[in-house]
A and B are shown apart, each in its own frame.
Chain A
Amino acid sequence: MKRHHWVVRVTHWVNVVAFTLMVGSGLQIFNAYPAFARRGETFCCYPFAHKAIPSALTFGGWLAGARNWHFAMMWVLVLNGLIYIAFIYLHGEWRDLVPRRGDPRDAWQMIRFYLFLRRDHPRQGKHNALQKAAYFAFPVLAALQVATGLAIWKPVQLSWLTALFGGYVWARYWHFLSMVGLVGLIIGHVFMVFAVDPYSLVSMVTGGYDARFSPEARNARPFYHLLPQQSDAGASEGD
Protein backbone atom coordinates (compact mmCIF):
# COMPACT_ATOMS: atom_id res chain seq x y z
CA MET A 1 0.00 0.00 0.00
CA LYS A 2 1.15 3.53 -0.82
CA ARG A 3 1.78 5.56 2.31
CA HIS A 4 3.56 8.73 1.14
CA HIS A 5 3.15 10.56 -2.17
CA TRP A 6 6.48 11.31 -3.89
CA VAL A 7 6.01 15.06 -3.27
CA VAL A 8 5.85 14.37 0.46
CA ARG A 9 8.92 12.13 0.33
CA VAL A 10 11.02 14.56 -1.71
CA THR A 11 10.09 17.58 0.42
CA HIS A 12 10.77 15.53 3.56
CA TRP A 13 14.35 14.73 2.56
CA VAL A 14 15.10 18.16 1.13
CA ASN A 15 13.87 19.44 4.47
CA VAL A 16 16.25 17.14 6.36
CA VAL A 17 19.25 18.53 4.51
CA ALA A 18 18.16 22.18 4.36
CA PHE A 19 17.07 22.30 7.99
CA THR A 20 20.31 20.67 9.15
CA LEU A 21 22.31 23.31 7.31
CA MET A 22 20.08 26.10 8.63
CA VAL A 23 20.60 24.94 12.21
CA GLY A 24 24.35 24.49 11.71
CA SER A 25 24.84 27.87 10.06
CA GLY A 26 22.48 29.49 12.56
CA LEU A 27 24.50 28.17 15.48
CA GLN A 28 27.70 29.40 13.81
CA ILE A 29 26.12 32.86 13.49
CA PHE A 30 24.93 32.64 17.10
CA ASN A 31 28.50 31.92 18.23
CA ALA A 32 29.58 35.38 17.07
CA TYR A 33 27.55 36.69 20.04
CA PRO A 34 26.22 33.72 22.04
CA ALA A 35 24.03 35.90 24.24
CA PHE A 36 20.88 37.98 23.91
CA ALA A 37 21.34 41.10 26.03
CA ARG A 38 21.54 44.50 24.41
CA ARG A 39 25.00 45.97 25.18
CA GLY A 40 24.94 47.50 28.64
CA GLU A 41 21.88 45.49 29.69
CA THR A 42 21.18 42.05 31.07
CA PHE A 43 18.80 39.45 29.66
CA CYS A 44 16.48 37.53 31.92
CA CYS A 45 16.01 34.26 30.16
CA TYR A 46 19.13 32.64 28.78
CA PRO A 47 21.32 30.92 31.40
CA PHE A 48 24.12 29.97 28.97
CA ALA A 49 25.13 33.48 27.88
CA HIS A 50 28.61 33.76 26.33
CA LYS A 51 29.09 30.01 26.17
CA ALA A 52 29.83 29.05 22.56
CA ILE A 53 27.99 26.22 20.85
CA PRO A 54 30.42 23.31 20.18
CA SER A 55 31.92 23.74 16.73
CA ALA A 56 30.93 20.18 15.79
CA LEU A 57 27.35 21.43 15.64
CA THR A 58 28.12 24.48 13.51
CA PHE A 59 28.32 24.92 9.77
CA GLY A 60 29.84 27.57 7.53
CA GLY A 61 33.33 27.85 9.01
CA TRP A 62 33.08 31.49 10.12
CA LEU A 63 30.50 34.20 10.57
CA ALA A 64 30.41 35.44 6.96
CA GLY A 65 30.42 31.90 5.54
CA ALA A 66 27.61 30.86 7.84
CA ARG A 67 25.58 33.96 7.00
CA ASN A 68 25.95 33.32 3.28
CA TRP A 69 24.76 29.74 3.73
CA HIS A 70 21.95 30.79 6.05
CA PHE A 71 20.62 33.47 3.68
CA ALA A 72 20.77 31.11 0.68
CA MET A 73 19.40 28.02 2.38
CA MET A 74 16.46 29.93 3.85
CA TRP A 75 14.94 30.08 0.37
CA VAL A 76 15.27 26.34 -0.12
CA LEU A 77 13.62 25.74 3.23
CA VAL A 78 10.81 28.24 2.65
CA LEU A 79 10.06 27.17 -0.95
CA ASN A 80 10.23 23.52 0.06
CA GLY A 81 7.86 24.19 2.95
CA LEU A 82 5.42 26.07 0.72
CA ILE A 83 5.44 23.23 -1.82
CA TYR A 84 4.69 20.76 0.98
CA ILE A 85 1.90 22.85 2.50
CA ALA A 86 0.33 23.56 -0.91
CA PHE A 87 0.50 19.87 -1.79
CA ILE A 88 -1.08 18.51 1.37
CA TYR A 89 -3.76 21.17 1.12
CA LEU A 90 -4.64 20.39 -2.49
CA HIS A 91 -4.17 16.62 -2.22
CA GLY A 92 -6.05 16.11 1.02
CA GLU A 93 -3.25 14.86 3.28
CA TRP A 94 -3.94 17.77 5.64
CA ARG A 95 -6.86 15.73 6.97
CA ASP A 96 -4.39 13.30 8.57
CA LEU A 97 -2.57 16.14 10.33
CA VAL A 98 -4.98 18.86 11.41
CA PRO A 99 -6.02 18.39 15.06
CA ARG A 100 -9.54 17.19 15.81
CA ARG A 101 -11.63 17.38 18.93
CA GLY A 102 -10.88 13.82 20.05
CA ASP A 103 -7.12 14.22 19.67
CA PRO A 104 -6.22 15.22 23.25
CA ARG A 105 -8.11 12.18 24.58
CA ASP A 106 -6.41 9.90 22.01
CA ALA A 107 -3.03 11.42 22.79
CA TRP A 108 -3.57 10.70 26.48
CA GLN A 109 -4.40 7.09 25.63
CA MET A 110 -1.17 6.85 23.59
CA ILE A 111 0.80 8.15 26.55
CA ARG A 112 -0.87 5.61 28.81
CA PHE A 113 -0.06 2.89 26.31
CA TYR A 114 3.61 3.89 26.11
CA LEU A 115 3.78 3.95 29.91
CA PHE A 116 2.36 0.40 30.10
CA LEU A 117 -0.79 1.72 31.79
CA ARG A 118 -2.80 0.38 28.91
CA ARG A 119 -2.35 -2.98 27.28
CA ASP A 120 -3.48 -2.57 23.67
CA HIS A 121 -2.45 0.05 21.13
CA PRO A 122 -5.20 2.66 20.67
CA ARG A 123 -6.95 2.60 17.31
CA GLN A 124 -5.54 5.15 14.92
CA GLY A 125 -5.73 6.46 11.39
CA LYS A 126 -2.60 7.13 9.35
CA HIS A 127 -0.89 8.53 12.44
CA ASN A 128 -1.49 8.21 16.13
CA ALA A 129 -2.61 11.29 18.05
CA LEU A 130 0.87 12.08 19.39
CA GLN A 131 2.34 11.91 15.91
CA LYS A 132 -0.39 14.13 14.57
CA ALA A 133 0.35 16.72 17.22
CA ALA A 134 4.07 16.63 16.40
CA TYR A 135 3.59 16.79 12.62
CA PHE A 136 1.13 19.62 13.01
CA ALA A 137 3.53 21.50 15.29
CA PHE A 138 6.36 21.30 12.70
CA PRO A 139 4.86 23.75 10.18
CA VAL A 140 3.54 25.98 12.97
CA LEU A 141 6.98 26.28 14.57
CA ALA A 142 8.55 26.61 11.12
CA ALA A 143 6.27 29.57 10.36
CA LEU A 144 7.33 31.15 13.65
CA GLN A 145 10.93 30.47 12.70
CA VAL A 146 10.51 32.25 9.36
CA ALA A 147 8.66 35.22 10.84
CA THR A 148 11.19 35.74 13.63
CA GLY A 149 14.00 35.26 11.10
CA LEU A 150 12.60 38.06 8.93
CA ALA A 151 12.18 40.19 12.06
CA ILE A 152 15.89 39.99 12.92
CA TRP A 153 17.06 40.19 9.31
CA LYS A 154 15.23 43.50 8.67
CA PRO A 155 14.53 45.06 12.09
CA VAL A 156 14.35 48.57 10.59
CA GLN A 157 12.65 47.99 7.24
CA LEU A 158 10.22 45.47 8.80
CA SER A 159 10.13 47.13 12.19
CA TRP A 160 6.39 46.39 12.60
CA LEU A 161 7.20 42.68 12.47
CA THR A 162 10.13 43.03 14.87
CA ALA A 163 7.88 45.00 17.25
CA LEU A 164 5.33 42.18 17.09
CA PHE A 165 7.91 39.88 18.70
CA GLY A 166 8.86 42.42 21.36
CA GLY A 167 11.76 44.12 19.55
CA TYR A 168 15.04 42.90 18.09
CA VAL A 169 16.44 41.26 21.24
CA TRP A 170 13.28 39.26 21.90
CA ALA A 171 12.76 38.39 18.23
CA ARG A 172 16.26 36.96 18.19
CA TYR A 173 15.40 34.96 21.31
CA TRP A 174 12.17 33.61 19.79
CA HIS A 175 14.11 32.71 16.65
CA PHE A 176 16.52 30.72 18.82
CA LEU A 177 13.76 29.11 20.91
CA SER A 178 11.67 28.02 17.95
CA MET A 179 14.83 26.39 16.57
CA VAL A 180 15.28 24.57 19.90
CA GLY A 181 11.62 23.51 19.74
CA LEU A 182 12.00 22.16 16.20
CA VAL A 183 15.22 20.34 17.05
CA GLY A 184 13.52 18.83 20.11
CA LEU A 185 10.61 17.59 18.02
CA ILE A 186 13.02 16.18 15.44
CA ILE A 187 14.96 14.29 18.09
CA GLY A 188 11.70 12.82 19.37
CA HIS A 189 10.59 12.03 15.83
CA VAL A 190 13.81 10.25 14.87
CA PHE A 191 13.89 8.36 18.15
CA MET A 192 10.34 7.09 17.63
CA VAL A 193 11.08 6.09 14.04
CA PHE A 194 13.89 3.83 15.15
CA ALA A 195 12.36 2.68 18.43
CA VAL A 196 8.78 2.10 17.34
CA ASP A 197 8.32 2.12 13.58
CA PRO A 198 11.51 1.56 11.56
CA TYR A 199 9.29 0.45 8.66
CA SER A 200 8.17 4.04 8.25
CA LEU A 201 11.74 4.91 7.28
CA VAL A 202 11.34 2.63 4.26
CA SER A 203 7.97 4.16 3.42
CA MET A 204 9.46 7.66 3.51
CA VAL A 205 11.95 6.47 0.85
CA THR A 206 9.95 4.14 -1.39
CA GLY A 207 6.46 5.26 -0.44
CA GLY A 208 5.36 1.67 0.20
CA TYR A 209 4.08 0.38 3.54
CA ASP A 210 2.82 -2.96 4.75
CA ALA A 211 -0.09 -2.38 7.11
CA ARG A 212 0.74 -5.65 8.92
CA PHE A 213 3.93 -3.93 10.12
CA SER A 214 2.18 -0.86 11.51
CA PRO A 215 2.76 -0.08 15.19
CA GLU A 216 -0.92 -0.66 15.80
CA ALA A 217 -0.75 -4.15 14.25
CA ARG A 218 2.41 -4.95 16.17
CA ASN A 219 1.14 -3.38 19.41
CA ALA A 220 4.52 -1.63 19.42
CA ARG A 221 5.96 0.56 22.13
CA PRO A 222 9.50 1.99 22.05
CA PHE A 223 11.79 -1.06 21.69
CA TYR A 224 8.82 -3.44 22.15
CA HIS A 225 7.45 -5.60 19.35
CA LEU A 226 9.71 -4.25 16.68
CA LEU A 227 9.13 -7.38 14.62
CA PRO A 228 5.75 -8.22 13.08
CA GLN A 229 3.63 -10.43 15.33
CA GLN A 230 2.93 -14.03 14.29
CA SER A 231 -0.34 -14.48 16.10
CA ASP A 232 -2.60 -12.99 18.70
CA ALA A 233 -0.82 -15.01 21.36
CA GLY A 234 2.46 -13.42 20.35
CA ALA A 235 0.95 -9.93 20.53
CA SER A 236 0.70 -9.98 24.29
CA GLU A 237 4.23 -11.25 24.79
CA GLY A 238 6.53 -8.93 26.65
CA ASP A 239 3.77 -6.70 27.99
Chain B
Amino acid sequence: MDRRHFLALGGATLGAAFLDGCGLDRAPQAEPVLRSAERRNEAIERSLFRHRSVDRPPAGARAAGAAFPMYFISKHPPVWDESVRGAWTLEVTGAVKRPIKLTLPELVKLRSVTQRVDHFCVEGWTAVAEWTGVRMRELARIVEPTPDAGYVDFQSFDDDYHESWDIESAMHPQTIVAYGMDGRYLGVPHGAPARVHSPVKLGYKNTKYLTRIVFLPGRNGGYWSDQGYEWYGGV
Protein backbone atom coordinates (compact mmCIF):
# COMPACT_ATOMS: atom_id res chain seq x y z
CA MET B 1 0.00 0.00 0.00
CA ASP B 2 1.52 3.35 -0.96
CA ARG B 3 1.32 6.45 1.16
CA ARG B 4 -1.55 8.01 -0.77
CA HIS B 5 -3.72 4.95 -0.14
CA PHE B 6 -2.63 4.77 3.46
CA LEU B 7 -3.72 8.38 3.94
CA ALA B 8 -6.98 7.76 2.10
CA LEU B 9 -7.68 4.77 4.32
CA GLY B 10 -6.75 6.88 7.34
CA GLY B 11 -9.22 9.53 6.19
CA ALA B 12 -11.90 6.90 5.74
CA THR B 13 -11.07 5.62 9.21
CA LEU B 14 -11.70 8.98 10.80
CA GLY B 15 -14.84 9.45 8.71
CA ALA B 16 -16.11 6.06 9.75
CA ALA B 17 -15.52 6.85 13.41
CA PHE B 18 -18.00 9.69 13.14
CA LEU B 19 -20.37 7.81 10.88
CA ASP B 20 -20.53 4.92 13.30
CA GLY B 21 -22.10 7.22 15.86
CA CYS B 22 -24.80 8.01 13.30
CA GLY B 23 -25.26 4.36 12.38
CA LEU B 24 -24.10 5.08 8.84
CA ASP B 25 -21.42 2.46 8.59
CA ARG B 26 -22.33 1.67 5.00
CA ALA B 27 -21.26 5.11 3.88
CA PRO B 28 -20.98 5.28 0.09
CA GLN B 29 -17.86 7.45 0.40
CA ALA B 30 -16.03 4.55 2.00
CA GLU B 31 -16.87 2.12 -0.80
CA PRO B 32 -14.01 2.99 -3.20
CA VAL B 33 -11.49 2.73 -0.38
CA LEU B 34 -12.85 -0.61 0.79
CA ARG B 35 -12.90 -1.90 -2.82
CA SER B 36 -9.31 -0.82 -3.26
CA ALA B 37 -8.28 -2.61 -0.06
CA GLU B 38 -10.10 -5.72 -1.28
CA ARG B 39 -8.16 -5.69 -4.59
CA ARG B 40 -4.89 -5.30 -2.72
CA ASN B 41 -5.79 -8.11 -0.36
CA GLU B 42 -6.64 -10.28 -3.34
CA ALA B 43 -3.22 -9.58 -4.87
CA ILE B 44 -1.55 -10.63 -1.61
CA GLU B 45 -3.72 -13.72 -1.27
CA ARG B 46 -3.02 -14.79 -4.85
CA SER B 47 0.72 -14.36 -4.32
CA LEU B 48 0.49 -16.57 -1.21
CA PHE B 49 -1.50 -19.24 -3.02
CA ARG B 50 0.26 -22.59 -3.54
CA HIS B 51 -1.13 -25.83 -4.94
CA ARG B 52 1.00 -27.74 -2.46
CA SER B 53 -0.65 -25.95 0.51
CA VAL B 54 -3.41 -28.38 1.30
CA ASP B 55 -6.04 -28.62 3.99
CA ARG B 56 -5.70 -31.39 6.56
CA PRO B 57 -8.36 -31.36 9.27
CA PRO B 58 -7.07 -32.31 12.74
CA ALA B 59 -6.98 -36.08 13.15
CA GLY B 60 -9.43 -35.95 16.03
CA ALA B 61 -11.94 -33.74 14.23
CA ARG B 62 -15.38 -35.34 14.06
CA ALA B 63 -17.29 -35.38 10.76
CA ALA B 64 -20.24 -32.98 10.90
CA GLY B 65 -22.66 -35.55 9.49
CA ALA B 66 -26.24 -34.42 10.00
CA ALA B 67 -24.96 -31.20 11.62
CA PHE B 68 -23.50 -30.04 8.28
CA PRO B 69 -25.49 -26.86 7.56
CA MET B 70 -27.33 -26.47 4.27
CA TYR B 71 -28.68 -23.55 2.33
CA PHE B 72 -29.90 -22.56 -1.11
CA ILE B 73 -31.29 -19.34 -2.53
CA SER B 74 -34.42 -20.72 -4.24
CA LYS B 75 -37.72 -20.61 -2.35
CA HIS B 76 -37.82 -24.39 -2.28
CA PRO B 77 -35.02 -26.95 -2.15
CA PRO B 78 -33.72 -27.11 -5.73
CA VAL B 79 -34.52 -30.56 -7.08
CA TRP B 80 -33.66 -31.53 -10.66
CA ASP B 81 -36.96 -32.85 -12.05
CA GLU B 82 -36.06 -35.25 -14.88
CA SER B 83 -39.66 -35.47 -16.08
CA VAL B 84 -39.59 -31.73 -16.81
CA ARG B 85 -35.97 -30.98 -17.65
CA GLY B 86 -34.71 -34.30 -18.93
CA ALA B 87 -31.65 -36.04 -17.58
CA TRP B 88 -29.29 -33.82 -15.58
CA THR B 89 -26.03 -33.05 -17.32
CA LEU B 90 -22.91 -31.15 -16.40
CA GLU B 91 -21.62 -29.00 -19.22
CA VAL B 92 -17.93 -28.09 -19.19
CA THR B 93 -17.46 -25.42 -21.77
CA GLY B 94 -16.28 -21.88 -22.60
CA ALA B 95 -12.66 -21.17 -23.42
CA VAL B 96 -11.80 -24.84 -23.97
CA LYS B 97 -10.71 -26.95 -26.94
CA ARG B 98 -13.11 -29.87 -26.31
CA PRO B 99 -16.31 -28.86 -24.53
CA ILE B 100 -18.20 -31.80 -23.03
CA LYS B 101 -21.54 -32.62 -21.53
CA LEU B 102 -21.56 -35.33 -18.87
CA THR B 103 -24.46 -37.26 -17.44
CA LEU B 104 -24.15 -38.28 -13.80
CA PRO B 105 -23.09 -41.88 -14.67
CA GLU B 106 -20.49 -40.47 -17.06
CA LEU B 107 -19.17 -38.12 -14.37
CA VAL B 108 -19.01 -40.95 -11.85
CA LYS B 109 -17.03 -43.06 -14.31
CA LEU B 110 -14.19 -40.51 -14.45
CA ARG B 111 -11.13 -40.90 -12.23
CA SER B 112 -12.31 -39.88 -8.77
CA VAL B 113 -10.85 -38.90 -5.42
CA THR B 114 -12.23 -39.13 -1.90
CA GLN B 115 -10.96 -36.56 0.55
CA ARG B 116 -11.72 -35.68 4.15
CA VAL B 117 -11.45 -31.89 4.33
CA ASP B 118 -12.72 -28.82 6.10
CA HIS B 119 -15.48 -26.63 4.80
CA PHE B 120 -14.74 -23.02 5.76
CA CYS B 121 -17.90 -20.95 5.91
CA VAL B 122 -17.66 -17.17 5.62
CA GLU B 123 -19.69 -17.00 8.83
CA GLY B 124 -16.81 -18.45 10.81
CA TRP B 125 -17.81 -22.07 11.31
CA THR B 126 -16.09 -25.09 9.84
CA ALA B 127 -17.39 -28.57 9.16
CA VAL B 128 -15.54 -31.73 8.27
CA ALA B 129 -16.89 -34.17 5.71
CA GLU B 130 -15.58 -36.78 3.32
CA TRP B 131 -16.20 -35.73 -0.27
CA THR B 132 -16.03 -37.89 -3.36
CA GLY B 133 -15.76 -36.48 -6.83
CA VAL B 134 -13.65 -35.60 -9.83
CA ARG B 135 -10.78 -33.15 -9.54
CA MET B 136 -11.30 -29.97 -11.54
CA ARG B 137 -7.78 -30.67 -12.81
CA GLU B 138 -9.01 -33.91 -14.30
CA LEU B 139 -11.93 -32.17 -16.03
CA ALA B 140 -9.53 -29.53 -17.34
CA ARG B 141 -7.29 -32.28 -18.71
CA ILE B 142 -10.27 -33.57 -20.67
CA VAL B 143 -11.63 -30.28 -22.02
CA GLU B 144 -8.22 -28.56 -22.42
CA PRO B 145 -8.75 -24.89 -21.51
CA THR B 146 -7.24 -22.41 -23.95
CA PRO B 147 -4.29 -20.32 -22.67
CA ASP B 148 -6.50 -17.25 -22.15
CA ALA B 149 -8.78 -19.10 -19.71
CA GLY B 150 -7.83 -17.37 -16.46
CA TYR B 151 -11.17 -17.84 -14.73
CA VAL B 152 -13.86 -20.44 -14.19
CA ASP B 153 -17.54 -19.79 -13.57
CA PHE B 154 -19.50 -22.42 -11.66
CA GLN B 155 -23.20 -22.14 -12.55
CA SER B 156 -26.22 -23.85 -11.02
CA PHE B 157 -29.95 -24.54 -11.26
CA ASP B 158 -30.48 -22.94 -7.83
CA ASP B 159 -32.08 -19.85 -9.42
CA ASP B 160 -29.20 -17.87 -10.88
CA TYR B 161 -26.62 -18.84 -8.26
CA HIS B 162 -23.10 -18.93 -9.59
CA GLU B 163 -19.61 -17.96 -8.47
CA SER B 164 -16.57 -17.40 -10.64
CA TRP B 165 -13.05 -18.31 -9.54
CA ASP B 166 -9.47 -17.67 -10.53
CA ILE B 167 -8.20 -20.70 -12.44
CA GLU B 168 -5.31 -21.31 -10.01
CA SER B 169 -7.75 -22.06 -7.18
CA ALA B 170 -9.93 -24.16 -9.49
CA MET B 171 -6.91 -26.29 -10.41
CA HIS B 172 -5.90 -26.87 -6.77
CA PRO B 173 -5.71 -30.64 -6.15
CA GLN B 174 -8.40 -30.39 -3.46
CA THR B 175 -10.90 -28.61 -5.72
CA ILE B 176 -13.34 -31.23 -6.91
CA VAL B 177 -16.72 -31.60 -8.56
CA ALA B 178 -18.26 -33.66 -5.78
CA TYR B 179 -21.12 -36.09 -6.23
CA GLY B 180 -20.58 -38.01 -2.99
CA MET B 181 -20.53 -36.99 0.65
CA ASP B 182 -19.65 -39.23 3.59
CA GLY B 183 -19.88 -42.34 1.43
CA ARG B 184 -23.26 -41.64 -0.18
CA TYR B 185 -24.44 -39.77 -3.23
CA LEU B 186 -25.03 -36.08 -2.50
CA GLY B 187 -28.42 -35.30 -1.02
CA VAL B 188 -30.57 -32.38 -2.10
CA PRO B 189 -29.56 -30.23 0.91
CA HIS B 190 -25.90 -30.43 -0.09
CA GLY B 191 -26.18 -29.72 -3.79
CA ALA B 192 -27.29 -32.91 -5.60
CA PRO B 193 -26.49 -34.16 -8.14
CA ALA B 194 -23.08 -32.43 -8.07
CA ARG B 195 -21.39 -29.40 -6.61
CA VAL B 196 -17.98 -27.79 -6.39
CA HIS B 197 -16.16 -28.44 -3.17
CA SER B 198 -12.82 -27.10 -2.07
CA PRO B 199 -11.19 -26.14 1.21
CA VAL B 200 -9.27 -23.38 -0.58
CA LYS B 201 -12.37 -21.22 -1.05
CA LEU B 202 -14.98 -20.04 1.42
CA GLY B 203 -18.25 -21.96 1.34
CA TYR B 204 -20.16 -19.44 -0.76
CA LYS B 205 -17.70 -19.88 -3.64
CA ASN B 206 -18.49 -23.61 -3.72
CA THR B 207 -21.52 -23.58 -6.03
CA LYS B 208 -24.04 -26.35 -5.36
CA TYR B 209 -26.58 -27.84 -7.82
CA LEU B 210 -24.03 -27.50 -10.63
CA THR B 211 -25.11 -27.39 -14.26
CA ARG B 212 -22.31 -25.62 -16.10
CA ILE B 213 -18.61 -25.04 -15.63
CA VAL B 214 -17.51 -22.26 -17.94
CA PHE B 215 -13.86 -21.41 -18.52
CA LEU B 216 -13.52 -17.69 -19.15
CA PRO B 217 -10.85 -15.13 -20.03
CA GLY B 218 -12.27 -12.72 -17.40
CA ARG B 219 -13.99 -12.96 -14.06
CA ASN B 220 -17.74 -13.12 -13.93
CA GLY B 221 -18.63 -12.07 -10.38
CA GLY B 222 -20.99 -14.28 -8.45
CA TYR B 223 -24.18 -14.39 -6.44
CA TRP B 224 -22.64 -13.33 -3.13
CA SER B 225 -19.59 -11.55 -4.47
CA ASP B 226 -21.89 -9.19 -6.41
CA GLN B 227 -23.58 -8.29 -3.12
CA GLY B 228 -20.45 -7.24 -1.27
CA TYR B 229 -18.67 -10.42 -0.21
CA GLU B 230 -15.07 -10.69 -1.39
CA TRP B 231 -14.90 -12.01 -4.93
CA TYR B 232 -11.70 -13.93 -4.18
CA GLY B 233 -12.98 -15.57 -0.98
CA GLY B 234 -9.81 -17.61 -0.64
CA VAL B 235 -8.82 -19.68 2.36
Q: Name A's B-contacting residues (CB within 8 A).
A: 14, 17-18, 20-21, 24, 29-30, 32-33, 35, 38-41, 59-65, 67-69, 71-73, 75-76, 79, 154-159, 167-169, 172
Contact = CB atoms under 8 A, between A and B. Distances in A.
B167 to A, nearest CB: 17
Of B53, B123, B124, B200, most buried by chain A (CB within 10 Å of CB) is B124
Nearest to B128: A38
Interface stretch (B31-39, B76-84, B136-144): B31-39
Interface of B: 1, 6, 9-10, 12-14, 16-17, 20, 25-26, 30, 33-34, 37-38, 40-41, 45, 48-50, 53-56, 58, 61-69, 118, 120-128, 199-200, 224, 227-230, 234-235
A67 B230 contact: yes
A139 B34 CA distance: 26
Given A154-B48, A157-B235, A30 B124 contact: yes
Contacts of B13: 14, 17-18, 21, 73, 76
B235 A39 contact: no
B26 A38 contact: no
B181 to A, nearest CB: 13
A69 B229 CA distance: 11
Contacts of B33: 72
Given A40-B67, A156-B199, A172-B124, A67 B62 contact: no
B229 A38 contact: no
B56 to A, nearest CB: 7
Contacts of B37: 68, 71-72, 75
A179 B9 CA distance: 22
A157 B14 CA distance: 33
A158 B44 CA distance: 13
Contacts of B30: 69
